[in-house]
């Protein structure tokens, strides 16, 4: 699949928190997954065009480093392509795809030390666009606050708030019960609120 040729048509809509997939987009992705499992190469390319950028963005928020995020997202997509037939229900694709990405990112977090230093480069890499640069102080505060959370809380917060996964999908993506995911999201929200209030006052 030629990921570099992916069109920039990100299928997200605002739903009160983060960028969430609409019902229409979920159905479309489910159809694409079904076609991919049947051997449709073009459907696979279309799915990659829609989802690889999203996985890359999530990886950058989890890891804070552009190059590490690129490698993690590429590894995750490779795992996704190898695992199509193991996905019992195409409707479960979002949580399943993020579970693969989360494992790749968690492995990298465990392997390195002093992880907070990785968050500044991600902000600098994204600040090339004027609209993003204008929001740089707030984005920097958010990245710094995320960097102070434990990896488990940070990943749950990114998946739920930034990527717009449902609670059940966040639980599936992180491999924990729904109650645990709910607790992590609650504590992440409380910590982020305190940290951001301190940075922005």
The C-alpha atoms of residue 19 and residue 17 are separated, in whole angstroms, by: 7
3 found inside a domain: no
pLDDT higher for 130 or 172?
A: 172
5 found inside a domain: no
Q: Which domain holds residue 28?
A: 11-200
Q: Are 149 and 188 in contact (CB under 8 A)?
A: yes
4 found inside a domain: no
Contact residues for 21 (Cβ-Cβ < 8 A; gap 6+): 11, 12, 13, 29, 94, 164
2 found inside a domain: no
pLDDT tens-digit map of 15-51: 334 456 678 888 999 999 999 999 999 999 999 999 9
pLDDT computed for residue 145 by the predictor: 80
CATH code at 118?
A: 1.10.10.10
pLDDT computed for residue 83 by the predictor: 92
| Stated pTM of the model | 0.74
Least confident segment among 12-16, 72-76, 191-195:
12-16
First vs last C-alpha separation in the chain: 47
* Dihedral pair phi/psi, residue 140, rounded to 5°: -65, -40
> 75 pLDDT exceeds 70?
yes
182 found inside a domain: yes
The number of distinct structural domains making up the chain is 1
Instruction: Name the band, by pLDDT with cuts 50, 70 and 90, for residue 174.
Output: very high
Q: Which of 107, 65, 103 is nearest to 83 (CA)?
A: 103
Mean pLDDT of all residues belonging to the chain: 79
For 172-194, what is the mean pLDDT?
92
Q: Indicate left, alpha or beta for 182 from its phi (over 0: left) and psi (-120 to 50: alpha).
A: alpha
pLDDT computed for residue 12 by the predictor: 38
pLDDT computed for residue 167 by the predictor: 93
Least confident segment among 55-59, 117-121, 179-183:
117-121
109 found inside a domain: yes
């Amino acid at each position: 699949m030629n990921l570099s040729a992916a069109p920039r048509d990100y299928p997200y809509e605002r739903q009160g928190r983060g960028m969430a997939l609409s019902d229409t987009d979920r159905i479309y992705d489910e159809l694409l997954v079904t076609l991919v499992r049947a051997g449709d190469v073009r459907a696979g390319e279309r799915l990659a065009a829609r989802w690889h950028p999203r996985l890359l963005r999530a990886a950058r928020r989890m890891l804070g480093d552009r190059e590490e995020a690129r490698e993690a997202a590429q590894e995750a997509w490779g795992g996704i392509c190898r695992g199509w037939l193991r996905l019992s229900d195409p409707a479960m694709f979002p949580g399943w795809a993020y579970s693969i990405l989360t494992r790749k990112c968690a492995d990298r977090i465990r392997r390195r030390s002093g992880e907070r230093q990785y968050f500044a480069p991600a902000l600098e890499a994204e600040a090339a666009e004027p609209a993003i640069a204008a929001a740089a102080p707030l984005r920097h505060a958010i990245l710094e606050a995320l960097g102070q959370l434990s990896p488990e809380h940070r990943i749950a917060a990114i998946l739920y708030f930034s990527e717009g996964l449902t609670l059940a999908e966040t639980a599936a993506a992180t491999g924990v019960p729904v109650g645990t995911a709910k607790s992590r999201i609650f504590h992440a929200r409380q910590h982020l609120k305190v940290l951001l209030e301190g940075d922005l006052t």
